[in-house]
Amino acid sequence: MNEGLIVAVVLLVFILVTVAKGVRLVAQGEEWVVERLGKYHSTLRPGLNILIPYLDRVAYKLVTKDIILDVQEQEVITRDNAVILTNAIAFVKVTDPVKAVYGVTDFSEAIRNLIMTTLRSIVGEMELDEALSSRDKIKARLRESIADEAVDWGLTVKSVEIQDIKPSESMQRAMEMQAAAERERKATVTRAEGAKQAAILEAEARLESAKRDADAQVTLAESSAEAIRRVTSAIGNETGPMMFLLGEKYIAAMEGLSKSTNAKTVLIPADIQETLRGVLGKRG
């Protein structure tokens, strides 16, 4: 009785294990790769699937939803020998599970390394300023470059985003020093230009002043000449009026000297009598 019970239990366990091995429920968003006697046999889709127990086995379980791959930060040297740091993030989807598991050892690591290598190649063809301002261009070229390889591995690259692209710390310091030097150069040029303009304006002012002084002297000389002509025309050959005018000027000059605060001594000319005769219009 006990032996029959043991056999029944063993048989029941065997049936349960066999059923468990033969029936597979695949969740939505997954696909399973089945091997029969060590060789690829079929791919199980989401839902209920039946296998031949002990001959078939589930070798790989793949997620067919979008996979996010973070590409680590790396140093890249641009065409003008500048060092920049860049990283990326890729969104891929398994579209052919058989190629994904048999075409490459680890498709996630493979696509990550492919992105890193291609990114270094693309940025290496650019100069620093172009690389820092061309994210969309880099992204488009990167996606186009890895698309064919990804198809061979049963993957579709839906998007590649450049997370960050910036100069290295040493490069940032060099750029800051260069910017400071450029600002100082512009300030020096501005100061020099200002000094130049000031010198030009000062020279133009001196030239204008000299021209005006010359014009004034010419005008004064012309006025004096006209006055002399008019006086000469008025007095004719008579010397009396002339002597009177000169004497009047003489006395006015002497009066000015006597009123000056700096004048300590006033000198009276020796020919004062002759001068007075001139003022009175008398002849000797």
Higher pLDDT, residue 275 or 94: 94
What DSSP string describes 74-126? EEEE-TTS-EEEEEEEEEEEES-HHHHHHS-S-HHHHHHHHHHHHHHHHHHTS
**203-240 confidence digits (pLDDT tens):** 888 888 888 888 888 887 777 777 777 767 766 666 66
26 close to 32: Cβ distance less than 8 angstroms: yes
Residue 34 pLDDT more than 90?
yes
Stated length of the chain: 284
In the chain, pLDDT over 70 holds for what percent of residues?
79
Residue 276 pLDDT more than 70?
no
Query: In this structure, how many other beta carbons lie within 10 angstroms of the beta carbon of residue 210?
Result: 10
For residue 68, the cross-strand partners are 91
- 3-state SS assignment for residue 264: coil
Q: How is residue 40 written in tokens? A: 């690829």
Would you state the pLDDT for residue 211? 85
**46-88 confidence digits (pLDDT tens):** 999 988 888 888 999 999 999 999 988 888 888 888 888 888 9
Angle at the Cα of 142 from the Cα atoms of 140 and 147, rounded to 5 degrees: 100
Helices 240-259 and 272-280: angle between axes, nearest 10 degrees: 120
Would you state the pLDDT for residue 240? 63
Positive or negative, the CA dihedral 123, 125, 127, 129 is: negative
Q: Give residue for tokens 């589930």.
A: 58
